[in-house]
Amino acid sequence: MIELGENQYGKSRVRLMKVERGAPQHRVFEWNVEVWLTGDFTSCFLDGDNGLILPTETMKNTVYSLARGSSAKNIEEFALELIAHFLTTQPQIDGAGVRIRSINWSPIRTSAKTHARAFIQTGPEIATVTATQSRSAAAKIISGLDQLTILKTAKSAFSHFKKDKLTTLKETEDRLLGTAMTANWTHTRASSDFDTIRAGVRDALLVTFAEHDSKSVQQTLYAMGKAALESAPEICCIHLSMPNKHCNLVDLSPFGQDNPNHIFVPTDEPHGSIQAAVRRGE
């Protein structure tokens, strides 16, 4: 017997730029929004009956329309607004989900002044959120950071590792440690201040990365996750992905020069891939 399995449908890559003009200092938001709906859409998939299908074009228009009147201060609040709208206006659905990626624009600051109506894009760091909710359960909110690119030039080692006949890597007590980290943390409930939680988690991750005496990326990852949870009682777990962006020491001996950890070749491929979840115990 062949039957339809789990399914959903929605609209992806809805690009939105919003400008808040109510104060002398303008604010700019650039969001990339994905929306999806879940429910019993069997008749559409099997019979081509579109009677229960809200067009994805309508979902796109909803993003823009809600953004116009929204008082959301951050991507988490806007995601919850979108979900509430669809659950309220579309009785045929069982649930809704929203994913948002936020590109950061900051006011241009020069030696002369901060410019109230001119901005510079900062990155590659991107703030993210994925929110889902069904009619029978509370919203699940996973906030995050993507492409948080960080580097330390000291307090990083990798030695005493397992070796076999194909191991060529040399042990080191002093290396560069760089990564473009992805972090995702799960809220235990809808918060009144997602921005404060995000700032606290981010600070905890960065301070720990900078100060931790690292014996491996794995050890530093766990220390960072632990610090993030300690900084924010409103979250229950955090998942960290830290690709090890290698910087290989250049051999300058053919030129009659030494190289006491000064000259490196940054390389993206291949790279180590380290990830883990850190969560609160029972």
- 58 is a catalytic site residue: no
Of the listed 18, 26, 38, 56, which one is catalytic?
A: 56
The C-alpha angle with vertex 80 and arms to 97 and 54, in degrees rounded to 5, equals 45
Q: How far is CA 184 from the centre of its chain?
A: 6
Q: What is the DSSP string of 238-251?
A: EEEEEEE--EEEP-
- 182 is a catalytic site residue: no
Element (H or E) spanning 130, and its range? Answer: strand 114-134
Residue burial 21-30, b: 16+ Cβ < 10 Å; e: rest? eeeeebebbe
- According to DSSP, residue 210 is labeled H
Of the listed 187, 212, 245, 246, which one is catalytic?
A: 246
Q: How far apart (Å, rounded) are the C-alpha atoms in residues 160 and 263?
A: 25
Residues in the chain: 282
Q: Which of 176, 66, 87 is nearest to 131 (CA)?
A: 87
* Assigned token pair, 209: 């990365």
- 122 is a catalytic site residue: no
Catalytic residues: 11, 56, 246
